[in-house]
Amino acid sequence: MTDPVRYEAHGEIGVIIVDNPPVNATGVAVRAGLVAAADAFAASDQKVAVLMAAGRTFIAGADIKEFGKTPLEPHLSTLIHHIEALEKPIVCVIHGTALGGGFEVALGCHYRVALKGARVGLPEVNLGLIPGAGGTQRLPRLIGMIPACEIFTSARQVGADECLKLGIVEAVVEGTPLEAGLAFARKILAEDLPVRRISAMTVAPYDPADLAALRTNVAARNTGHVCHLRAIDVAVAGADLPFFEGIKQERQGFWDLMQTPQRAAMIHAFFSERAVASLPELKGVVPRALGHIGVIGGGTMGGGIAVSCLLSGLRVTLIERNAEAAQKARDGIAGMLADSVKRGKLTPEKRDALLADALVTTDDYAALSDADLVIEAVFELMDVKKDVFTKLDAICKPGAVLASNTSYLDIDQIAAMTKRPQDVLGLHFFSPAHVMKLLEIVEAAKTAPEVLATGFALAKALKKIPVRAGVCDGFIGNRILKAYRTACDHMVLEGASPFQMDEVLEAFGFAMGPFKVTDLAGIDIGYLTRQRLAPTRDPRERFGDWGDVLYAKGRLGRKTGHGHYIYDAQSPKGRPDPELLEIIAEERARKGITPRAFSAEEIVERYMAAMINEAARVVGEGIARRPLDVDVTKLYGYGFPRFRGGPMHYADHIGLERVLATITEQAKTDDFFWQPAPLLQQLVAEGRKFADLNQG
Ligand code: 3H9
Compute the mean pLDDT over every residue in the chain, rounded to the nearest whole number. 96
Contacts of 515-521 with C-beta under 8 Å, sequence gap 24+, read: 515/488, 515/564, 515/565, 516/564, 516/565, 516/574, 517/639, 518/547, 518/557, 518/563, 518/564, 519/557, 519/558, 519/563, 519/564, 519/565, 519/567, 519/574, 520/557, 520/558, 521/557
Measured by CA distance, the residue closest to atom 49 of ligand 1 is: 60
| pLDDT tens-digit readout, 365-375 | 999 999 999 99
Model confidence at 532, pLDDT cuts 50, 70, 90, reads confident
Q: Is the pLDDT of residue 1 over 70?
A: no
Q: What is the mean pLDDT of residues 450-455?
A: 98
Among 285, 272, 273, CA closest to 453: 285
| pLDDT tens-digit readout, 100-149 | 999 999 999 999 999 999 999 999 999 999 999 999 999 999 999 999 99
Percent of the chain with pLDDT over 90: 93
Q: Which atom of ligand 1 is nearest to the CA of 278?
A: 48
Classify residue 267 by its DSSP letter. Answer: H
Q: CA 198, CA 204: separation in Å to the nearest integer?
A: 13
- Crossing angle of helices 514-521 and 498-508, in 10° steps, is 110
The predicted structure's pLDDT at residue 469:
97
| CA 351 distance to own-chain centroid | 26
Classify residue 290 by its DSSP letter. Answer: -
Q: Which of 124, 250, 443, 506 is catalytic?
A: 124
| pLDDT tens-digit readout, 147-167 | 999 999 999 999 999 999 999
| pLDDT tens-digit readout, 605-663 | 999 999 999 999 999 999 999 999 999 999 999 999 999 999 999 999 999 999 999 99
Measured by CA distance, the residue closest to atom 39 of ligand 1 is: 23
Q: pTM surpassing 0.85?
A: yes
Measured by CA distance, the residue closest to atom 8 of ligand 1 is: 132
Q: CA 248, CA 471: separation in Å to the nearest integer?
A: 53
Q: Is the pLDDT of residue 2 over 80?
A: no
Q: Which atom of ligand 1 is nearest to the CA of 71?
A: 8
The answer to whether 184 and 48 have CB atoms below 8 angstroms apart is: no
The predicted structure's pLDDT at residue 431:
87
- Crossing angle of helices 600-620 and 678-686, in 10° steps, is 100
| pLDDT tens-digit readout, 539-562 | 999 999 999 999 999 999 999 999
| pLDDT tens-digit readout, 307-355 | 999 999 999 999 999 999 999 999 999 999 999 999 988 999 999 999 9
Q: To test the ligand 1 pocket, which listed residue (23, 73, 153) has its Cβ within 8 A of the most ligand atoms?
A: 23
The predicted structure's pLDDT at residue 696:
60
Measured by CA distance, the residue closest to atom 18 of ligand 1 is: 271
The predicted structure's pLDDT at residue 68:
80
* CA 62–ligand 1 middle distance (angstroms): 8
Q: Which residue has the higher pLDDT, 596 or 69?
A: 596
Measured by CA distance, the residue closest to atom 15 of ligand 1 is: 274
Q: φ, ψ for residue 42 (rounded to 5)?
A: -60, -40
The answer to whether 35 and 82 have CB atoms below 8 angstroms apart is: yes
The predicted structure's pLDDT at residue 353:
96
**Per-residue CA distances from 527 to 458, 488, 554 (Å):** 34, 16, 12
The predicted structure's pLDDT at residue 525:
82
Ligand 1 pocket at CB < 6 A: 22-23, 25, 57, 60-65, 76, 97, 99-101, 104, 123-124, 127, 131-133, 135, 274
Is 124 tagged catalytic?
yes
Q: Which of 66, 84, 87, 104 is catalytic?
A: 104
* CA 100–ligand 1 middle distance (angstroms): 9
Phi-psi region of 374 (alpha: psi -120 to 50; beta: other; left: phi over 0): beta
Q: How many CB atoms lie within 10 A of CB 542?
A: 15
